[in-house]
Chain A
């Protein structure tokens, strides 16, 4: 059933892709010049702290164009993780690990068409991932319209620490289409769609589900989780940015998501950008997110091996989250320094609260199945420094 759905999705996606490529080629007949992204060197420190999990590390991006035709870029990103999350303290022990991600890409401007090709490698003790992405975009209709297509293929290897025999694979594909339109001289709207398919070992090799066990003193016991081996998802978003009557911008976004696991999610975001005196710019934002649980999710299964598929990951539970964020950036000129033209320093702070509707906090002392629902808050910080040349 799932395999048929995946095959049908692939056929539909290919037909859609062919149609859209034809549209892009057709659009080229009426196109105008595009430009490459600006040359820049960015370094960022990032930090996440919430729910017993701390993640921080650097991210470095360098981009350089040659003859206004080719722009190459490289990104190096590190996550240093120490985790004592609710999932870990319930069934295992706290751990720390490091993930490094390296990306290389090239963008090519041929006539009036923009091509992008990139390769990303992500590596940690027990998970390795290689992904190739290809994208094409085109401005047309007097530069008022932009269409973009993308395709990505990823191959992951899943391992389990302490078990040298355990090796599993995951194959991922990502189809994307994006369309932007200038509506008025102050309003730009963008529509984006992503279809993603995963095949292989999709659950976490360490996590467990709990089930009611009358023989246990605490009323329940744990067993390994088991996910389906395929997952196909669709996400569609509409976002707009509006230039207010004074120099400031208002951004609005809505996204709808659904997948073959039964998760339906919706999120909306409102952001406001306001330049301040002295080359300062302030951003404030609010984001609301809500999702339903996966079909095979349960906080407490009635017995062992109650279903074919079993999950108790809180990412697959029903929950809502609210995020508030503020950024302050300062731009400065570098006319006196050779090579560089300008720079930017940016500090961002976001506060996120998660409220779960059917994931219980089993660290609380209460009878099985009547513990309070879990909730936690997280703080996300970004300190960003950029040089343009």
Chain B
């Protein structure tokens, strides 16, 4: 539990630093331009290409394992529950 809390605290700090940086105080600028994102836009790069299908596999594991949560998706209501 302690390691998880430390991880979350570090994650929060990292995101705060990043957001502040992104807003100009550290002059951190996006380093990948829109015209360089062909690879990233390819459907094979998706973490969750077919939500119904991957949600089922998560369900299979969750029913048989003690662990749960953090399976993927960013909380956008993707029907992955």
Show the binding face of A for B, using Cβ within 8 Å.
12, 16, 19-20, 23, 26-27, 29-30, 37, 42, 44, 46, 48, 59, 61, 63, 73, 75, 103, 105-107, 114-118, 120, 131, 133-137, 140-150, 152, 174, 176-182, 184-186, 188, 190-196, 233-237, 239, 241, 243, 247-249, 251, 255-261, 263, 265, 267, 273, 275, 281, 289, 291, 294, 315-316, 321, 325, 344, 346, 348, 350, 352, 354, 380, 382, 384, 386
- In the complex, per-residue mask of B47-79: 1 if CB is within 8 Å of any chain A CB, else 0: 100111100110011001111111111111111
Within 8 A of A (CB), among B1-44: 1, 3-5, 7-8, 11-12, 15-16, 18-19, 22-23, 29-32, 34, 36-40, 42, 44
* A180 near B64: Cβ-Cβ < 8 Å: no
Shortest Cβ distance from residue B2 to the other chain A in the assembled complex, whole angstroms: 9
* B70 near A294: Cβ-Cβ < 8 Å: no
Give Cα A243 to B8, complex, Å. Answer: 28
Size band of the interface chain B makes with A? 35 or more
Partner of B67, one of A134, A193, A255, A275: A255
* A137 near B76: Cβ-Cβ < 8 Å: yes
Give Cα A336 to B52, complex, Å. Answer: 27
Partner of A185, one of B23, B39, B74: B39
Q: With contacts A193-B70, A267-B67, A380-B60 known, is A176 near B75, CB below 8 A? A: yes
Which residues of B sit under 8 angstroms from A291, Cβ to Cβ?
A: 65-67
Give Cα A45 to B36, complex, Å. Answer: 38
Task: Return 20 A-B CB contacts under 8 Å, by A number.
Answer: A23-B15, A27-B22, A116-B78, A135-B76, A185-B37, A192-B70, A192-B71, A193-B70, A194-B68, A194-B70, A234-B5, A243-B39, A243-B44, A243-B45, A247-B44, A258-B1, A273-B44, A289-B65, A291-B66, A291-B67
